[in-house]
């Protein structure tokens, strides 16, 4: 699977934070991560019988420039059941890492500014206080 992400048509970090919030709240969430052209849709869906798991689906949408509205005709790349705590930890750790790297001048070069550091920290505090998935290991 080849999945490249461009920040021309969206803010990937903010989109991934929306996905994290959905995992933490155990809610259905779908996001789009764009390439130039095409992209991928990621969605999480809670399992009503197993509250500690979610269905993670990654779908590829066609070679399309600009914002894309999901039609249901996208090609499913992967559909797996994952533990919420593991998925949240994986996504949050990657976002935390990118946020830390952006403090380095050499990493900042040629990258757009505006990483949602405050949103990441606030979500990490919510995760840390969550009775089901907490505490956060990002401290």
77 within some domain: yes
Q: Count up the domains in the chain and report the number.
A: 1
* Cβ neighbours of residue 34 closer than 8 Å, sequence gap 6 or more: 5, 6, 8, 9, 10, 67, 68
pLDDT score, position 71: 72
The answer to whether residue 137 sits within a structural domain is: no
What pLDDT does residue 137 have? 93
Domain range enclosing 23: 12-129
**pLDDT in the model for residue 6:** 57
Average pLDDT along the chain, 139 residues, taken 10 residues at a time: 62 94 97 81 95 95 65 86 98 94 83 84 97 92
> Does 5 map to a domain?
no
Q: Let me know if residue 2 belongs to a domain.
A: no
Predicted TM-score of the model (pTM): 0.87
For residue 44, list its beta bridge partners. 29, 56
Identify whether the C-beta of residue 118 lies closer than 8 Å to the C-beta of residue 87: no
136 within some domain? no
User: Residue 124's pLDDT is what?
Assistant: 97
pLDDT at 62: 72
Residue 15: what pLDDT?
94
* Separation of alpha carbons 78 and 70, rounded Å: 16
Specify the long-range contacts of residues 39-46, CB closer than 8 Å, at least 24 apart: 39/5, 39/9, 39/64, 39/68, 40/3, 40/77, 41/70, 41/74, 44/19, 44/87
């Amino acid at each position: 699977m080849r999945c490249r992400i461009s920040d021309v048509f969206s803010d990937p970090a903010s989109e991934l934070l929306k996905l994290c919030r959905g995992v933490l709240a155990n809610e259905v969430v779908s996001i789009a991560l764009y390439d130039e052209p095409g992209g991928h849709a990621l969605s999480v869906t809670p399992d009503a019988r197993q509250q500690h798991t979610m269905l993670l689906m990654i779908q590829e949408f066609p070679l399309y420039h600009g914002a894309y509205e999901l039609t249901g005709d996208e090609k499913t790349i992967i559909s797996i059941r994952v533990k919420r705590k593991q998925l949240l930890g994986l996504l949050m750790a990657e976002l935390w890492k990118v946020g830390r790297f952006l403090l380095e001048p050499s990493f900042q070069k040629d990258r757009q500014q505006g990483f949602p550091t405050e949103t990441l920290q606030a979500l990490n505090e919510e995760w840390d206080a969550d009775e089901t998935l907490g505490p956060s290991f990002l401290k």
